[in-house]
Amino acid sequence: MKQYKNMFSAETIANYLQGVVEGDPSTSVTGVARIEQGKPGALCFFANPKYEKYVYTTKASIILLNKDYKLKEKIAPTIIRVDNAYEGIASVLGLFESAKAANKKGCEYPSKISWRSKRGKNCYIGAFAYIAKGVKLGDNVKIYPHVYVGDNVTIGDNTIVYSGAKIYQGCVIGANCIIHSGAVIGADGFGFAPQANGEYKKIPQIGNVVIEDNIEIGACTTIDRSTIGSTIIHSGVKLDNLIQIAHNVEIGKNTVIAAQSGIAGSAKLGESCVLAGQAGVIGHLTVGDRVTIASKSGISNNIPDDRQMLGFPAMEASKYKRSFAVFRNLPDLWNNVNTLVKKVAVLEKNQDNKSDE
């Protein structure tokens, strides 16, 4: 069970989720647990029918249930009824995490904070963090230890930057964002001009990265600054760990990208797209809204809205599946063709022999 210092009552949680309490509204919890590992003082939830038996055996103090779920027998935990228990637990986890973050305030020693930077109310600066000149931090910003924030960076209200993240000069981070450890925002784009002698000359990358509100960036994900202008991540985007976003890329609202995917320079992704793990998009392409790209797929052409793409190079999923039904049988087809060739050769030889008689 994950423990928190804060304690929340069933009534408080129900009000937060706009749910209904069944049982003692004063029942309090200090942590969250999986339903099969529930203990007193813990809150758990039931949403997957596979775990139904634990509803009746869990020792948790509070359990989230869907409003339409009918109990087969009486249970000990206090119940909070919500429209969707799975979404509800996500909100509860956010409540606990917010309360934990709220306890972080002030500046730890040693840290380096330029006197030419500005901080809003209730900010937290961890030990060994570096805040350069011209930096503007909004209210309730949390900068964990060993974070680097370069010159003239702006970070909006309630954003959290976890230990070891680096934000290069001139980048703009919106409100309510989460940047995980090891993320690098604003490193130079991969721009080199080939020379006549075979060498490469670096092209200065003088733009920045603009990250709008309500964005989460996973650990060790990198977002390169633009050559000119801005690399832009629009609001609501969720980036997994180990993702590469190249210079001058633009990613539309509420797009989700899974780990080890790569977006090459100047590509534009639309709104509400989903990229599964290790998907790739080559440079200077446009991917429309609500496009789903399957794992390990490679996008090499512009994609219209509302498509499902699969394969490398990627094609529409329905076409790929039909093609796959053919090429997975190629060995058998090859054997059949070889057999037919041999039979034809025998027939031709027999025909030639008859002609010579």
Q: What is the mean pLDDT of the chain?
A: 92
Across residues 47-63, what is the average pLDDT?
94
Examine the pLDDT at 79 and tell me if it is beyond 60.
yes
Map out the domains of the chain with their CATH numbers.
2-102 (3.40.1390.10), 106-318 (2.160.10.10)
Cα 89 to Cα 48, 77, 141, 187, distances in angstroms? 13, 16, 24, 36
Q: Are 35 and 44 in contact (CB under 8 A)?
A: yes
pTM for this model (two decimals): 0.78
Q: What pLDDT was estimated at residue 333?
A: 83
> Where do we find the tokens 């087809």?
333
Q: Which residue has the higher pLDDT, 314 or 108?
A: 108
Across residues 22-48, what is the average pLDDT?
93
Interval 336-351: pLDDT, tens: 888 888 888 888 877 7
Examine the pLDDT at 221 and tell me if it is beyond 80.
yes
Write down the number of H helices and E strands in the chain: 4, 39
Q: Which residues are catalytic?
A: 247
Q: Are 14 and 80 in contact (CB under 8 A)?
A: yes
Kindly state the percentage of the chain with pLDDT values over 90. Answer: 79
Interval 277-287: pLDDT, tens: 999 999 999 99
SS3 call for 104: coil
Q: Which of 329, 262, 341 is nearest to 299 (CA)?
A: 262
Q: What pLDDT was estimated at residue 208?
A: 97
Using pLDDT thresholds of 50, 70 and 90, give the confidence band for residue 355.
low
Examine the pLDDT at 4 and tell me if it is beyond 60.
no
